[in-house]
């Protein structure tokens, strides 16, 4: 086919390639690569924005060295992963159940339910956080009211050192289990109907069909969804900001939130925050590479 294109056209095409990609390249360089490099650069310096008089000094790897002895760094890392270990299973379980339920039989309102699943995901996370904060309120919140009616002794959720993290995980689950449900549904929909019909004729129950046909076929999708959500939980910000601000104490202070607090809201130690950001970036980058491998393997 290529031979049919005249040489002038080929030259023209090369020119066009630059014209089309150049603007994006410049933007990517100045708005993605430069800030990233600047962040990396800062992480090797000593710089506090609240004390500009002290200036900026090169400090080598001091910031990274400091991390090793920083208890709040470990606390942040552990909190991030704790949050993930609470929220992820909940999201996968609920997402999986919702997906099977919706796929179980075709019914009239199916489209409405599929669209309903989208709504939590697009409501601004700040709003989601505030509304759930209202629901969790120990005195006037509706959750504790009903729990008390059931004869339970509910915790003060957001001001409790352990329950606050669970409360955040539940909020995150509400917002994001639909994504898992929809990803899995996309997988279910791609399973040929004949395969399911054949299994049904052979007398397999619905549970057997799920176990032996659905689960093996969508395993890569589940893995994809898990990594995607893990990345998002590691970078969660909005919900923590409005619901607890990292508190009580540092009980819900994830690594991401710690970096924000120490660098931009309290402390102004922007260079140390940069090193935390770089650490987090590499952690996420590793996961992102993994996700790409998973999604490529699925296509192949």
Footprint on residues 68-97 left by another protein (CB under 8 A) = 97
Helix (H) or strand (E) holding 117: helix 110-122
Residue 245 near residue 67 (C-beta atoms within 8 A): no
Does 217 participate in binding another protein (rule CB under 8 A)? no
Binders of another protein among residues 110 to 129 (CB under 8 A) are: 113-128
State the nearest-atom distance from the C-beta of 219 to another protein, in Å.
Answer: 15
Long-range contacts of range 96-100, CB-CB < 8 Å, 24 or more positions apart? 96/180, 96/181, 96/184, 96/222, 98/177, 98/178, 98/181, 99/180, 99/181, 99/182, 99/184, 99/185, 99/188, 100/188, 100/210, 100/214
- Establish whether the linkage from the previous residue to 70 is cis, with ω within 30° of 0: no
- Residue among 68, 71, 106, 140 that touches another protein (CB under 8 A): 140
Residues 1-40 interacting with another protein (rule: CB under 8 A): 1, 4-5, 9, 12-13, 16-17, 19-21, 23-25, 27-28, 31-32, 34-36, 38-39
Q: Would you list the DSSP string of 229-253?
A: HHHHHHT--HHHHHHTTT-STTTT-
| 231 lies in the binding site for another protein (CB under 8 A) | yes
Residues 6 or more apart whose Cβ sits within 8 Å of residue 232: 176
Stretch that binds another protein, among 61-69, 81-89, 159-167, 271-279 (CB under 8 A): 271-279
Which stretch, 81-89, 151-159, 193-201, 262-270, contacts another protein (CB under 8 A)?
Answer: 262-270
Residue 61 or 289: the one with the smaller Cβ distance to another protein is 289
Q: Which of residues 232-261 bind another protein (CB under 8 A)?
A: 234-235, 237-238, 241-242, 256, 259-260
Say if CB 242 and CB 129 are below 8 A apart: yes
CB nearer to another protein: give 160 or 268: 268
Site residues for another protein, window 154-213 (CB under 8 A)?
A: 174, 178-179, 182-183, 186, 206
């Amino acid at each position: 086919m290529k031979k049919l294109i005249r040489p002038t056209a080929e030259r023209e095409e090369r020119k066009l390639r630059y014209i089309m990609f150049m603007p994006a390249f410049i933007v990517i360089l100045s708005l993605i690569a430069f800030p990233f490099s600047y962040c990396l650069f800062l992480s090797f310096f000593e710089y506090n924005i609240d004390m500009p008089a002290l200036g900026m000094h090169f400090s080598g790897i001091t910031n990274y060295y400091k991390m090793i002895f920083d208890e709040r760094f470990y606390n942040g890392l552990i909190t991030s992963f704790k949050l993930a270990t609470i929220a992820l299973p909940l999201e996968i379980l609920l997402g999986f159940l919702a997906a099977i339920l919706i796929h179980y039989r075709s019914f009239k309102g199916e489209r409405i339910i599929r669209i309903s699943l989208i709504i939590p995901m697009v409501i601004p996370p700040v709003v989601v956080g505030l509304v759930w904060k209202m629901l969790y309120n120990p005195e006037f919140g509706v959750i504790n009211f009903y729990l008390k009616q059931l004869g339970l002794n509910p915790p003060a959720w957001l001001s409790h050192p352990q329950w606050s993290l669970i409360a955040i995980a539940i909020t995150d689950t509400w917002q994001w289990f639909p994504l898992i449900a929809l990803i899995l549904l996309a997988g279910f929909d791609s399973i040929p109907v004949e395969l399911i019909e054949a299994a049904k004729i052979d007398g397999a129950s619905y549970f057997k069909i799920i176990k032996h046909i659905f689960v093996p076929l969508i395993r890569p999708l589940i893995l994809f969804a898990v990594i995607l959500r893990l990345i998002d939980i590691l970078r969660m910000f909005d919900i923590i900001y409005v619901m607890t601000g990292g508190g009580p104490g540092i009980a819900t202070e994830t690594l991401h939130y710690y970096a924000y607090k120490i660098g931009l809201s309290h402390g102004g130690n922007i260079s140390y925050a940069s090193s935390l950001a770089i650490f987090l970036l590499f952690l996420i980058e590793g996961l992102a590479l993994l996700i790409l491998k998973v999604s490529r393997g699925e296509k192949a």
